[in-house]
């Protein structure tokens, strides 16, 4: 999430940033996951933002905090592109929201990602 957050501010979101930011040294599996997800979020940012925006009620993307936006992009990518079960991706996104944002944002993130998940289910 922190790398996706960095991307929102024009950063590269490279995994090496985590070493400097939080002294995180990922193993090979974690590196592979980071490459897939962080690279995928960057590659699909416009698509993900359009999907998120289509599920907002009374909000626009520019009104959402950058932290919530990063979590929504990450969660939407996992739901749409990774094969991770939607409920798992949504639960993890809500936990990230609880840790990095606010309790009030948890229901918001859950609702938006739930809408994206239901739309994906209908398309399959």
pLDDT value for 7: 74
Of 96, 84, 89, 81, residue with least CA distance to 114: 89
**DSSP state letters, 4-49:** HHHHHTT----THHHHHHH-----HHHHHHHHHHHHHHHHTHHHHH
Q: Are 50 and 5 in contact (CB under 8 A)?
A: no
pLDDT value for 82: 93
Mean pLDDT of 17-30: 64
Indicate if the pLDDT at residue 15 is higher than 60.
no
**CATH code at position 25:** 1.10.940.10
Mean pLDDT of 73-85: 95
Indicate if the pLDDT at residue 16 is higher than 70.
no
Domain range enclosing 116? 2-123
Indicate the number of domains in the chain.
1
CA angle 11–15–17, rounded 5-degree value: 55
pLDDT value for 117: 97
pLDDT value for 53: 97
The pTM for the full model equals: 0.87
């Amino acid at each position: 999430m922190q790398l996706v957050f960095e991307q929102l501010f024009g950063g590269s979101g490279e995994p090496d940033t985590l070493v400097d930011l939080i002294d995180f040294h990922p193993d090979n599996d974690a590196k592979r996951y980071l490459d897939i997800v962080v690279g995928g979020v960057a590659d699909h940012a416009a698509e993900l933002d359009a999907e998120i925006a289509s599920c907002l009620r009374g909000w626009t993307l520019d009104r959402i905090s950058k932290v919530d936006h990063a979590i929504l992009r990450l969660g939407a990518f996992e739901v749409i592109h990774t094969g991770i079960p939607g409920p798992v991706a949504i639960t993890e996104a809500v936990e990230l929201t609880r840790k990095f944002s606010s309790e009030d944002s948890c229901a918001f993130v859950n609702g938006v990602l739930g809408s994206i998940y239901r739309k994906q289910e209908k398309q399959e």
